[in-house]
Chain A
Amino acid sequence: MHTKSVAQLMQGLRERQFSSVEVTRAYLHRIAALDSQYNSFITVDEAAALAAAAIADKRLAAGDGAALTGIPIAHKDIFCTDGMRTSCGSRMLDNFIPPYDATVIQRFNAAGAVLLGKTNMDEFAMGSSTESSFYGPTRNPWNTDLVPGGSSGGSAAAVAGRLAPAATGTDTGGSIRQPAAFCGITGLKPTYGRVSRLGMVAFASSLDQAGPMAHSAEDCALLLNTMAGHDPLDSTSSTMATADYCASLGDSLAGLRIGLPREYFSAGLDAATGACIGSALQELEAQGATLVEVSLPHSDLTIPTYYIIAPAEASTNLSRFDGVRYGYRCDNPTDLHDLYTRTRQEGFGDEVKRRILVGTYALSAGYYDAYYKKAQQIRRLIKQDFMDCFEQVDIIAGPTTPGPAFALGAKANDPIAMYLEDVYTLAVNLAGLPGMSIPAGFVDNKPVGLQLIGRHFDETRLLNVAHRFQQATDWHLRTPDSAQGGQQ
């Protein structure tokens, strides 16, 4: 059961080969049996999941099934879930039970999906290793001494370890694509504005975007069909019409022009990882695509630009966690100042505090022009680089990360080394473009991810290229040894 794709589960449910309760129970069993290895879930409510599955079975029996009816999905613990704790990986929200669903959750509910549980993440999505979670680090199913990437590391590990057929993630600077690469799964960060941000705990508002994480491009397309669309309650969500993201999966790649940014294949790239990417690109070439070298000249400014804008927005987005209305509150505050300082001192972890400090500094009077304003100007140049490339090519391809997953603790005390992990993914968020990571091979039994970057709102093309690649390869079908067992 647990090796089936979402598409296969949908077919099995439709044909009554098995029930949603059976599928859900199988996954719950696997979570109970195997997740102690990974720590990929923060919250699992078995009774609620089985109840939702029973309802889904009734809908299916009545011929009233919607797109994902009966499919168990794990959600990153950043999406607010009505009546179920939403911690965002932080002590600050350890006691927070939202009285509402995020729009993404509502859409999955409406489609009949079963909420399997809430997955672990870097605190407030700030991190690239899922080590900064209040609930302890998540481990990589391919090698539990390694990090799964982050911040959506819980979702990536849950899918890779086959504890969920698919999951949601969010990506502010690579938080879907990098863990997808590290865990050997497929992850899509849609165009900024394609998926509603309402009810998603905000990290950096102008960069945050939710997306699907699954084994295959086809499964990501199925999830995106449910997730994408305008939300009148999110002013930044796009009114542009969505597509049926499954409709063009099989289209031929003949004539496709793929841009390879020379800046993404330079000294910082691990040689073995580079070799995997090279082979993957050859496969695409074999299917009729043309490889074109392109340039993103402002690439070296990406990390400093991102690490001004994202912390600046985060510093004010996180101001609401003040101990007044919900969430963590320090014991016995002596006065207002004490309430604020101790609540935030005790409620936030180090990485979150670091970014609040950086962001507060960058927005301060006298520094605003030199930092935030300058960063916004460079952001426009970075976006323009991509626009110029898309004059020549249809998509851009390269490595998702400079190398494969690293050991737990290896970069935990070196923020700069950690920030460099996202060197190839950050620019996509700054430019608001859609980006994917798909499994493209292994280095020492550690997965490697191929990143595909598309034009704004051209998710269809990305999914098409990824699907065609996956038709010809089996990297995405491999299962880590740690995921063996766990059968009922």
Chain B
Amino acid sequence: MQWESVIGLEVHLQLATQSKIFSGSSTAFGAEPNTQASAVDLAMPGMLPVLNEQAVRFAVKFGLGIGASIGKRSVFDRKNYFYPDLPKGYQISQFDAPIVGRGTFEILLEDGSARSIGITRAHLEEDAGKSLHEDFHGQTGIDLNRAGTPLLEIVSDPDIRNAAEAVSYLKALHSLVTYLGISDGNMAEGSMRCDVNISLRPLGCETLGTRAEIKNVNSFRFVDKAIRYEIERQTAILEDGGTVAQETRLYDADRDETRPMRSKEIANDYRYFPEPDLLPVVIDDAYIEAIRNTLPELPADKRHRFHTQYGLNTYDANILSATRALADYFEAVAADCGDAKIAANWVQVELLGQLNRDAHAIDNCPVSAAQLGGLIRRILDHSISGKMAKQVFEAMWQGEGSADAIIDARGFKQVSDSGALETIVDQVINTNAAQAQQYRDADETKRKKLVGFFVGQVMQLSKGQANPQMVNDLLAKKLV
């Protein structure tokens, strides 16, 4: 039987606020354990939460970014369960009145086509601390630095059909939230964590199968692998005539498998009820409009514009709009050199290639957009060949200055002076009279092969600086 997988993702996004959602403690990553935990974060007796307005602002930004309705009156609720890294014994979250309602956003598939994925809701909540099991000799250490970090939980509709789409969705989400400046989206530091809900059903069937929830899948690669594994696992069960258990599973990256969580790790009844220590969050239209006015151009809009304004294909437009910094860089290069297509090519191939090799982010790229634009201008005015340009780029990457400075310093100037070139061409023809005769006797097809020899000779004599197009033209004229 043909099976269709039905996948929904819940993403926990850490919001890039300076302080925690309900206390004044810093949210900076990587501090010594428990140095960023105040009396509120420790749930000391009598301590009370105070809502960080920046978290609300960021959530609204996200909502506007996916065209969602914003909850005019959203309510915080307590989600009750006991765990040592949950100091209050409840997590302050939102249950039936979330701040962000239904929205959609567009993802781009591998084949270049776009798909719209529904967002069920997004709500604000606080993160828990961390339980540390190593280094404590059979005991558990608790680090509450993360406790109270604001999270936006983004719940997708079950619109995703396979692992590749799930990864595209996450990449698009990552792109959106970094554009909005509401999260650093750093999956390695846990700024974006993903739970996967997945079920299978016979292709064409409308009803949903029983789903498994895979918790804490925390990189694009693991999402891909966990889904592939889970589809195989569930397919095998169903093909055998079995039934999939509705359960929560953990993805174990070391073994590349999912396995059920112990039932003790799952609380069944969270006893949600409205948090009496906080007032409902009331948001008016003026507040929403003020935030709307601060929204940047979003990735999908930018992608469409790159396509229409610069004539880039969807694939290129998608890559160049993936982050705001890269898109800004590309547009600066294009504006500087005046040729967007060549700019796109250079940014994508040479620049991104080097960045990947050196593991640099675009924000601390050693070559500025103006430098790269200057280099491309020299290609466009035939001062240097494409081959030379790559050497110039290498030198630039090493910090040797502007394209013009490097071209001068290395004597890379392309010879485009027809007089000088004619002298060299004549010299080559004269010293290779036999080959010249062979050329003259040959038909058109053979001549095309033979001309390469002369071009090579001219290049050698000119130390590679002859303008190849002009050499070809001169040879064609003089050899006959």
A positions within 8 Å CB-CB of B: 79-80, 86, 88, 93, 96, 98-100, 102, 197-202, 204-206, 232-236, 312-313, 315-316, 319-320, 322, 324-326, 336-337, 340, 360, 363-365, 368, 372
Contact yes or no, B82 A198, CB < 8 A:
no
Contact yes or no, B46 A197, CB < 8 A:
yes
Contact yes or no, A235 B279, CB < 8 A:
yes
Q: Taking the nearest CB of chain A, how far is it from the CB of B47, in angstroms?
A: 7
Contact yes or no, A235 B276, CB < 8 A:
no
Contact yes or no, A363 B48, CB < 8 A:
no
Task: Name which of A79, A232, A313, A360 has the most chain B CB atoms within 10 A of its CB.
Answer: A313
Contacts of B44 on A, CB cut-off 8 Å? 80, 98-100, 325-326
Contact yes or no, A236 B45, CB < 8 A:
no
Main SS of chain B's interface residues? loop
Contact yes or no, A322 B42, CB < 8 A:
no
How far apart are the CA atoms of A315 and B39 in the complex, in Å? Answer: 21
Q: Taking the nearest CB of chain B, how far is it from the CB of A352, in angstroms?
A: 14
Contact yes or no, B87 A320, CB < 8 A:
yes
Q: Any chain A CB within 8 A of the CB of B239?
A: no
Which residue of the partner chain B has the closest CB to A196? B48
Partner of A316 from B39, B80, B269 at Cβ < 8 Å: B80
The contact sample of 24 A-B pairs, CB cut-off 8 A, is A86-B45, A88-B45, A93-B45, A98-B45, A99-B44, A197-B48, A199-B46, A202-B46, A205-B276, A232-B50, A235-B50, A235-B277, A313-B276, A316-B78, A316-B80, A316-B273, A319-B82, A320-B43, A324-B142, A325-B44, A326-B44, A363-B271, A363-B272, A372-B273
Partner of A340 from B43, B82, B272, B276 at Cβ < 8 Å: B82
Which residue of the partner chain A has the closest CB to B270? A365
How far apart are the CA atoms of A324 and B84 in the complex, in Å? Answer: 7
Which residue of the partner chain B has the closest CB to A320? B43
Contact yes or no, A363 B277, CB < 8 A:
no
Task: Name which of B42, B46, B47, B78 has the most chain A CB atoms within 10 A of its CB.
Answer: B46
Q: Taking the nearest CB of chain B, how far is it from the CB of A439, in angstroms?
A: 31
Q: Taking the nearest CB of chain A, how far is it from the CB of B10, in angstroms?
A: 20
How far apart are the CA atoms of A201 and B47 in the complex, in Å? Answer: 8
Known contacts A316-B271, A319-B88; decide if A200 and B46 are in contact (CB<8 Å): yes
Q: Any chain A CB within 8 A of the CB of B278?
A: yes
Q: Taking the nearest CB of chain B, how far is it from the CB of A76, in angstroms?
A: 12
Main SS of chain A's interface residues? loop
Partner of B45 from A201, A315, A372 at Cβ < 8 Å: A201
Q: Any chain A CB within 8 A of the CB of B470?
A: no
Known contacts A80-B45, A198-B48, A205-B276; decide if A320 and B89 are in contact (CB<8 Å): yes
Q: Taking the nearest CB of chain A, how far is it from the CB of B132, in angstroms?
A: 14
> How many B residues touch A, CB cutoff 8 Å?
30
Contacts of B374 on A, CB cut-off 8 Å? none
Contact with A along B356-371 (1 / 0, CB 8 A): 0000000000000000
How far apart are the CA atoms of A319 and B90 in the complex, in Å? Answer: 7
Contact yes or no, B89 A316, CB < 8 A:
yes
Task: Name which of B39, B140, B272 has the most chain A CB atoms within 10 A of its CB.
Answer: B39
Partner of A364 from B39, B78, B269, B279 at Cβ < 8 Å: B269
How far apart are the CA atoms of A372 and B264 in the complex, in Å? Answer: 27
Give me 19 other A-B pairs in contact (C-beta within 8 A), A235-B277, A313-B276 excluded.
Answer: A98-B44, A98-B46, A99-B39, A99-B44, A206-B276, A233-B50, A235-B50, A316-B271, A316-B273, A319-B88, A319-B90, A322-B84, A322-B89, A325-B44, A325-B142, A326-B42, A363-B272, A368-B271, A368-B272
How far apart are the CA atoms of A202 and B45 in the complex, in Å? Answer: 7
Contacts of B278 on A, CB cut-off 8 Å? 235-236
How far apart are the CA atoms of A100 and B42 in the complex, in Å? Answer: 13
How far apart are the CA atoms of A206 and B277 in the complex, in Å? Answer: 7
How far apart are the CA atoms of A200 and B80 in the complex, in Å? Answer: 21
How far apart are the CA atoms of A142 and B279 in the complex, in Å? Answer: 43
Contact yes or no, A198 B88, CB < 8 A:
no
Contacts of A363 on B, CB cut-off 8 Å? 80, 271-273
Q: Which of B1-48 contact A (CB under 8 A)?
A: 39, 42-48
How far apart are the CA atoms of A423 and B45 in the complex, in Å? Answer: 29
Contacts of A337 on B, CB cut-off 8 Å? 264
Q: Any chain A CB within 8 A of the CB of B288?
A: no
How far apart are the CA atoms of A364 and B267 in the complex, in Å? Answer: 12
How far apart are the CA atoms of A340 and B80 in the complex, in Å? Answer: 15
Contact yes or no, A325 B43, CB < 8 A:
yes
Contact with A along B362-400 (1 / 0, CB 8 A): 000000000000000000000000000000000000000
Partner of A319 from B80, B264, B272, B273 at Cβ < 8 Å: B80
Task: Name which of A86, A88, A204, A236 has the most chain B CB atoms within 10 A of its CB.
Answer: A236
Contact yes or no, B48 A234, CB < 8 A:
yes
Contact yes or no, A365 B271, CB < 8 A:
yes
How far apart are the CA atoms of A443 and B49 in the complex, in Å? Answer: 46
Q: Any chain A CB within 8 A of the CB of B51?
A: yes
Q: Taking the nearest CB of chain A, how far is it from the CB of B16, in angstroms?
A: 23
Contact yes or no, B46 A236, CB < 8 A:
no
Contact yes or no, A368 B47, CB < 8 A:
no
Which residue of the partner chain A has the closest CB to B42? A325
Contacts of B47 on A, CB cut-off 8 Å? 198-199
Which residue of the partner chain B has the closest CB to A324? B84
Q: Taking the nearest CB of chain B, how far is it from the CB of A387, in angstroms?
A: 20
Contacts of A324 on B, CB cut-off 8 Å? 84, 87, 142
Which residue of the partner chain B has the closest CB to A319? B89
Contact with A along B263-287 (1 / 0, CB 8 A): 0100001011100111100000000
Contact yes or no, A320 B45, CB < 8 A:
yes
How far apart are the CA atoms of A29 and B43 in the complex, in Å? Answer: 37
A-B interface, 9 closest residue pairs, ranked by CB to CB distance from nearest: A319-B89, A205-B276, A363-B271, A206-B276, A199-B46, A320-B43, A201-B45, A365-B269, A320-B88
How far apart are the CA atoms of A360 and B276 in the complex, in Å? Answer: 16
Contacts of B42 on A, CB cut-off 8 Å? 325-326
Which residue of the partner chain A has the closest CB to B277? A205
Q: Which of B208-258 contact A (CB under 8 A)?
A: none
Q: Taking the nearest CB of chain A, how far is it from the CB of B119, in angstroms?
A: 26
Contacts of A316 on B, CB cut-off 8 Å? 78, 80, 89-90, 271, 273
Partner of B277 from A236, A336, A364 at Cβ < 8 Å: A236
Q: Taking the nearest CB of chain A, how far is it from the CB of B130, in angstroms?
A: 14
Q: Taking the nearest CB of chain B, how far is it from the CB of A92, in angstroms?
A: 10
Contacts of A233 on B, CB cut-off 8 Å? 48, 50
Task: Name which of A235, A337, A372 has the most chain B CB atoms within 10 A of its CB.
Answer: A235
How far apart are the CA atoms of A202 and B90 in the complex, in Å? Answer: 14
Contacts of B84 on A, CB cut-off 8 Å? 322, 324, 336
Known contacts A235-B279, A312-B273; decide if A198 and B45 are in contact (CB<8 Å): no
Contacts of B277 on A, CB cut-off 8 Å? 202, 205, 235-236
Q: Taking the nearest CB of chain B, how far is it from the CB of A354, in angstroms?
A: 17
How far apart are the CA atoms of A7 and B191 in the complex, in Å? Answer: 58
Task: Name which of B51, B82, B271 has the most chain A CB atoms within 10 A of its CB.
Answer: B271
How far apart are the CA atoms of A310 and B278 in the complex, in Å? Answer: 17
Q: Taking the nearest CB of chain A, how far is it from the CB of B280, in angstroms?
A: 11
Contact yes or no, A235 B51, CB < 8 A:
yes
How far apart are the CA atoms of A204 and B140 in the complex, in Å? Answer: 32
Known contacts A236-B277, A320-B89, A322-B89; decide if A102 and B78 are in contact (CB<8 Å): no
Contact with A along B41-64 (1 / 0, CB 8 A): 011111111110000000000000
Contacts of A200 on B, CB cut-off 8 Å? 46
Which residue of the partner chain A has the closest CB to B43? A320
How far apart are the CA atoms of A298 and B277 in the complex, in Å? Answer: 26
Q: Taking the nearest CB of chain B, how far is it from the CB of A227, in angstroms?
A: 15
Contacts of B39 on A, CB cut-off 8 Å? 99-100
How far apart are the CA atoms of A266 and B460 in the complex, in Å? Answer: 116
Contacts of B45 on A, CB cut-off 8 Å? 80, 86, 88, 93, 96, 98, 201-202, 320, 326
Task: Name which of A322, A365, A372 has the most chain B CB atoms within 10 A of its CB.
Answer: A322
Which residue of the partner chain A has the closest CB to B82? A340
How far apart are the CA atoms of A201 and B45 in the complex, in Å? Answer: 5
Contacts of B272 on A, CB cut-off 8 Å? 363, 368
Q: Taking the nearest CB of chain B, how far is it from the CB of A58, in angstroms?
A: 31
Contacts of A320 on B, CB cut-off 8 Å? 43, 45, 87-89
